[in-house]
């Protein structure tokens, strides 16, 4: 506040206008969020409501979602998604960090060729290959039973290494002199990665963890193709989408909103818990 008083009149106006624009943008961005939360507590059924704020409130939508398994077993979907998200998150993060470290800190033949090939592959959206992936997994017998979870983990984590670009860009900002000093002291490449690069790269590690964890929660197409009619292995994205089908939407729309609120909790919690590492990691990188 004291620093704001020192600004010139022109700069005060510009800063004030920027804050007003940001406040309006934030308000507009939050309107759909508030609407979903309010709808999850709405007492009336159906997908349409003439008022933004419900005329009556109830917890029955959450109760139905968590206890009524006659059509949708939401707790099972949540368990499936959480299990897939955690495992694929760990595998994806390892692949991304390993590939990014290799291409950033090591020099070898065909390095540039590999980088270009990975970039070209990463340009194509994942859904272009989903039919081929499905039939490959079907040939292996992974489209039915518990192996279906393994198939989804393979889909989400298998090609994660091709998304190394952001992590590599961060690693490139760390002075290579640190690696050389450690190698002169007898450190191995593994110790350079774990003792030097990783402590200075907390922001990008956290970013990779968050995006990898959120992937299975929001992906629909690949999960739907793999799961097919195997409802007991549905992820929350597939299950919630089915609640919007014509035969279910009148009775399940408010529960759909309740499900959207529930699945946002673990992602928001993880983000809030790991947010501090952005600041710590950046400060450590500056000190290095």
Q: What is the DSSP string of 150-188?
A: HHHHHHHHHTGGGG-HHHHHHHHTS-HHHHHHHHHTT--
pLDDT at 34: 92
Residue 173 domain flag: yes
- Report the C-alpha gap between 91 and 212 in whole angstroms: 9
pLDDT tens, residue by residue, 186-239 = 888 888 888 888 888 888 888 888 888 888 888 888 888 888 878 888 899 898
Choose the final residue of a domain: 39, 63, 87: 63
Q: Are 239 and 223 in contact (CB under 8 A)?
A: no
What DSSP element (H or E) covers 242?
A: helix 236-242
pLDDT at 28: 93
pLDDT at 283: 47
50 and 77, same domain (yes or no)? no
Residue 282: pLDDT band with limits 50, 70, 90: very low
Chain-centroid distance of CA 152 in Å reads 15
Computed on alpha carbons and rounded to an integer, the radius of gyration of the chain in Å comes to: 24
Residue 68 domain flag: no
Chain-centroid distance of CA 191 in Å reads 29
262 and 164, same domain (yes or no)? yes
Q: Are 15 and 22 in contact (CB under 8 A)?
A: no
- Report the C-alpha gap between 118 and 210 in whole angstroms: 22
153 and 249, same domain (yes or no)? yes
Quote the number of domains for the chain: 2
Residue 280: pLDDT band with limits 50, 70, 90: low
54 and 182, same domain (yes or no)? no
15 and 97, same domain (yes or no)? no
210 and 134, same domain (yes or no)? yes
31 and 83, same domain (yes or no)? no
Residue 84: pLDDT band with limits 50, 70, 90: very high
- Report the C-alpha gap between 275 and 255 in whole angstroms: 30
Choose the final residue of a domain: 32, 63, 94: 63
Where is average pLDDT lowest: 21-25, 73-77, 90-94, 207-211? 207-211
101 and 160, same domain (yes or no)? yes
Choose the final residue of a domain: 24, 41, 63: 63
97 and 191, same domain (yes or no)? yes
138 and 89, same domain (yes or no)? yes
98 and 214, same domain (yes or no)? yes
Q: Taking 60 as the threshold, does the pLDDT of residue 55 lie above it?
A: yes
Q: What domain range includes position 235?
A: 73-287
20 and 124, same domain (yes or no)? no
CATH number at residue 166: 1.10.3720.10
Residue 280 domain flag: yes
Q: Taking 90 as the threshold, does the pLDDT of residue 119 lie above it?
A: no
pLDDT at 286: 42
Q: Which residue has the tokens 């590690």?
A: 205
Give per-residue burial for 13-46: e unless 16+ CB within 10 Å, then b.
Answer: eeeeeeeeeeeeeeeeeeeeeeeeebbbbbeeee
């Amino acid at each position: 506040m004291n620093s704001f008083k020192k600004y010139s009149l022109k700069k005060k106006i510009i800063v004030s206008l920027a804050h007003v624009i940001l406040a309006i943008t934030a308000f507009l961005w939050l309107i759909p969020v508030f609407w979903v939360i309010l709808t999850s507590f709405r007492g009336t059924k159906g997908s349409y409501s003439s008022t933004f704020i419900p005329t009556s409130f109830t917890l029955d939508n959450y109760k139905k979602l968590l206890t009524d398994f006659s059509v949708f077993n939401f707790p099972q979907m949540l368990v499936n998604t959480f299990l897939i998200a955690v495992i694929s998150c760990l595998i994806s993060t390892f692949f991304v960090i390993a590939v990014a470290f290799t291409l950033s800190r090591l020099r070898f033949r065909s390095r540039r060729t590999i980088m270009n090939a990975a970039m070209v592959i990463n340009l194509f959206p994942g859904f272009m290959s989903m039919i081929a992936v499905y039939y490959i997994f079907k040939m292996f017998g992974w489209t039915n039973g518990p192996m279906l979870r393994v198939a989804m983990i393979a889909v989400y984590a298998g090609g994660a290494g091709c998304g190394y670009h952001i992590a590599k860009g961060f690693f490139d900002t760390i002075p290579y002199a640190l690696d050389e000093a450690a190698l002169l002291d007898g450190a191995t490449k593994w110790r350079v990665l774990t003792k030097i690069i990783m402590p200075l790269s907390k922001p990008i590690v956290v970013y990779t963890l968050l995006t990898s964890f959120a992937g299975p929660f929001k992906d629909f197409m690949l999960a739907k193709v793999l799961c097919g009619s195997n409802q007991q292995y549905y992820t929350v994205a597939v299950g919630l989408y089915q609640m919007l089908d014509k035969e279910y939407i009148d009775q399940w729309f408010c529960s759909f909103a309740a499900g959207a609120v529930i699945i946002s909790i673990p992602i928001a919690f993880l983000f809030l818990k790991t947010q501090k590492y952005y600041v710590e990691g950046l400060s450590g990188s500056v000190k290095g």
